[in-house]
Amino acid sequence: MKYDVVVIGAGIVGLTSAYHIKKNNPDVAIAVVDRAPTYGQGNTAKSAAGFRDVFTSDVNFKLSNGSISFYREIQETVGRDIGLKFSGYMFLMNRGDRRIEKLKELSRKTRISFIDASDLREIDYLSLVPDAESAGIMGLREIDSAVLARNCGIIDPVLLCKYYYDECMALGVEFIFNFDARDLELEPVNRLDFPGEPFIWQDKRIRIIKSGSREIEAETFILATDVWTTALLDLTGIDSHVRPKKRQVFQVGGDKIPEMVFDDSFTGEGICPFTILPRDGIYLRPAPLEKSFWVGVADDIGRDFSLSEDPQPEIPFYDMNLLQVIRSYFPAFSRTKMTSGWAGYYSYNTIDKAPYIFRTLNLLIATGTSGSGILKGDGIGRTVEAVYSGRSSVKLHNGLEFDPAMLGVKGRNVEPEEIIL
């Protein structure tokens, strides 16, 4: 089997990359391979499935705002339901939170409104002042204001992936599942047939990928393999520049929870906003189908960089870390039950928390989504296409542009992101 382009990984990044490359280069023969039996089974399936364009770094804002613009078109103009609900993100803030200034700046570019304490007091299930014991032990402080970002909400990643998969199929992209690519082997571009090739002075490339006895040859390989990129690249000596961190989502239900989930008063979308607590970025994501909240956090210090194939949610982590804080602000959580949970990984760019998209040899690497690969998925696919086609500008669906070299390794120029959830 021989192709012009083989995309390894059929998550959101692989699907959007294949779609934009094929759409802009119809004559290019493309296959997408994945070790899973179908598309969208990796971290894309594990996400909290929120979307936002509230990012402090300019390129993260552009990628997310451009992707949301395209997702809105898919749902509202094309008429394909991808579960997009503009139910907002609400950041609950302590006095003096330094993100407020950044968000005020951002409010010139996207829809953000500011809510003061007097309005927050109207929310009967929210306690602005944690009890003295919680305040003392956990260092919790009074909520003083909130920021409601409106070009944000929730999405269904399964339906989103299905959209790109169907579009890829219609354009003639091939899919090969149950293909576990192993050990990328460097070969000389011009073979001399001497033992020990490739020598240091020979140009090198990857010619084939193998899975058991199956081999696939390509001119260009695109690694859309998220946290598994490092292992795939290890033999080649090429650095992926990303580190994995386990991330968990806990589903929580209870008597008062549906009333909170279906609180329509913020955006009129029928559900409450994706709500971020002032402490450590703990979030409550409304899950209307389950009449529950999905609860999560991007914990940092103390969370190691290990990677396992079947990560499990840690119930004591929920009980001792998340629940304690949440119920101090939302007392109804004292009478809730955690009904299920799951875990996956963020592939972190540990420096600036924006994706890495770069070319080396005949490999194009797209990883480091740092916890927001779905909401930036379309923009990442467009960037991969621009790098593949050798263009010095990416045009996003919202019309914003940037130089894709910004997201590379050598020409990188991204300010560190301050809002990671």
Ligand X SMILES: Cc1cc2nc3c(=O)[nH]c(=O)nc-3n(C[C@H](O)[C@H](O)[C@H](O)COP(=O)(O)OP(=O)(O)OC[C@H]3O[C@@H](n4cnc5c(N)ncnc54)[C@H](O)[C@@H]3O)c2cc1C
Residues at the site binding ligand X, with contacts judged by CB under 6 A: 8-14, 33-36, 41-44, 46-50, 179-181, 224-226, 228, 232, 247-249, 296, 344-346, 369, 371-375
State the pairing for strand pair 174-176/89-94: unpaired
Is 137 exposed, middle or buried (CB count within 10 Å of its CB: 0-12, 13-18, 19+)?
exposed
User: Toward ligand X, which CB reaches closer, 106 or 140?
Assistant: 106
CB of 78 to ligand X, least distance (A): 20
Q: What's the closest the beta carbon of residue 68 comes to ligand X, in angstroms?
A: 10
Q: What is the nearest approach in angstroms of ligand X to the Cβ of residue 63?
A: 10
Contacts 24+ apart (CB under 8 A), 299-306: 300/245, 303/245, 303/246, 305/243, 305/244, 305/245, 306/244, 306/246
Integer Rg of the chain from CA:
22
CB of 200 to ligand X, least distance (A): 27
Closer to ligand X by Cβ: residue 50 or 198: 50
CB 404 within 8 A of CB 390: no
- Select 141 or 359, whichever has its Cβ closest to ligand X: 359
Containing 106, the helix (H) or strand (E) segment is helix 99-106
Instruction: For residue 372, report the phi and psi dihedrals to the nearest 5 degrees.
Output: -145, 40
Judged by beta carbon, residue 122 or residue 309, the one nearer ligand X is 309
Nearer to ligand X, 180 or 187 (CB): 180
The one-letter code for the residue type at 57 is S
Closer residue to ligand X in complex, CB, 16/336: 16
The residue with tokens 């050598």 is: 410
Q: What is the DSSP letter of 85?
A: B
Alpha-carbon distances of 122 from 97, 126, 182, 256, 374, rounded to whole Å:
22, 9, 57, 17, 34
Q: How far is the CB of 218 from ligand X (least distance, A)?
A: 14
If DSSP codes are grouped into helix, strand and coil, which group holds residue 372?
A: coil
Residue with smaller CB distance to ligand X, 46 or 382: 46
* Shortest Å distance, C-beta 52 to ligand X: 8
Residues 282 and 315: beta-carbon distance below 8 Å = no
| Minimum distance of ligand X from residue 19's CB (angstroms) | 13
Residues 6+ apart with CB under 8 A from 119: none
